[in-house]
A and B are shown apart, each in its own frame.
Chain A
Amino acid sequence: MNDKETLYQQRLNRYITAMDCGKPDMVPVAFGIGEWVVKYKGTTFQEIFYDLDKSNSIVSEMLPGLDFDIFKGGPCLWWPPMFDAMGSKLYKFPGIGVDENSTFQYNEEEYMKPDDYDEFTASPTEWLVNHFLPNISTELANPGSYRSTIALIKGAAAFAMSGSITAAAYEKWTKEHGIVGQGTGFTKAPFDTLGDALRGMKGILLDLRRRPEKVLAACEAITPHNVNCGLAGAGADTRFPCFAPLHRGAYPFLNPRQWETFYWPSLKATIEGLWAKGKRMLFYAEGDWTPYLEKIAELPERSIIFQIDTTDARKAKEVLGGRFCLQGGVPTTLLTYGTPEKIREQVKRSIDELGRDGGFILDSGGVIMGDAKQENLITMIEAAREFGVY
């Protein structure tokens, strides 16, 4: 075993021990080389988003100087050429819709209409193909046409290409730098699948009043698909969690009664379905989930890693600690507006409060934005190594 393989094994053991609520040799550190890196590299958001080779080469350049355990990914969340090929209406990307130095913007619309509920619920995958893809893609406006067929060929090819480029990059980073990827598979709460991309915020909130039974039926129909998406295919990896960014479940998008009726049952069923197959979820609780911690504690032990964004960290430790691994500890806003001294104090405090018994991964609270300061990020991982030894 060479040095990098040994490093990989150490980091992997650290990660797996923490996920199982144990106490490894030191607190594992999760880190992403996100959009914040753009302003330090003399490039533009547009170039980073469009040119995957350039984006990956920046990650390769940065990794040797950074000592962390779990890699959360590079700077571009989406590959816009795939969206361009389909004429996608979903996003405005840097340089095409927004300024070349802006991050992307989501164009929220009711891509699914209230009258579509029954057909969607009867056969979700068919409805997505027959209606949703043409609704969100200008190139698919006339299904069966030359432009539509070409767009599907290009879109599917781009999907395969980006997957293959990303997989090759991760393999290289693992071999050359001993990094461990955070997860495999991507899923969501069924209510978010419905509320984010299909009905939109306004649509889903009206539906809770006007057609609540259709919302529940749709969430039930989505649940087995979201289990499948999280598993990332039959026989795929179960060592690492699937990533699940959770949106409308944050307090106070929904009131507690709505949350318990509409949001939680299908998310719980998704988590239980994944766990039955041995797959854990990175419960990426964006925003504040404090009022719901007791309900979350009812999940099967160790079936999630709970991400602490603006949830009350002490309460999360009190209610969830020991049952589930906790991840977070450094507020995202502090990485932008704080100083290295403040970051150091915060890392020490979080490790003392959240990590004292193990079952803790130090990380930023949420997604690190483009305006975060590099000196704060470097301090975060250095302080974690200084204070994180058990």
Chain B
Amino acid sequence: MSDQEKALINPKPGVCVPWELKLEELGDFPGNEEIVKKEWEKLDDFAYNFIWFWVQR
């Protein structure tokens, strides 16, 4: 596998940027993680559908 391929995150179906990755970047999380995660994943799913729309022609 090339270095470029190793750098890929290969998100699962319905995901563009996994919440777990975002959570790591956010660091300490003083509030309710579930509230933020739920809305993050909704928008992530919208972006995913937008991307795949273009190829499912």
Contact = CB atoms under 8 A, between A and B. Distances in A.
Interface of A: 88, 90, 106, 118-119, 122-126, 128-129, 132-133, 136, 155-156, 159-160, 186-188, 193, 196-198, 224-229, 233-234
B11 A123 contact: yes
A224 B57 CA distance: 17
A227 B13 CA distance: 8
B56 A193 contact: yes
Interface of B: 1-2, 4-5, 8-16, 45-57
Tell me what chain A mostly uses at the interface: helix, strand, loop, or mixed. helix
Contacts, number: 78
The 3 A-B pairs of least Cβ separation, nearest first, read: A228-B13, A123-B8, A123-B10
Contact of A229 (B4, B5, B12, B56): B56
A377 B34 CA distance: 52
Given A118-B5, A227-B13, A186 B56 contact: yes
Given A90-B57, A125-B15, A129-B16, 16 more contacts: A90-B54, A123-B8, A125-B48, A125-B52, A126-B9, A126-B10, A126-B11, A128-B51, A128-B54, A132-B54, A136-B54, A156-B50, A159-B53, A160-B46, A225-B13, A227-B13
Residue among A88, A118, A122, A186 with the highest chain B CB neighbour number at 10 A? A122
A198 B52 CA distance: 12
B11 A125 contact: yes
Nearest to B6: A122
A125 B16 contact: yes
Contacts of B11: 123, 125-126
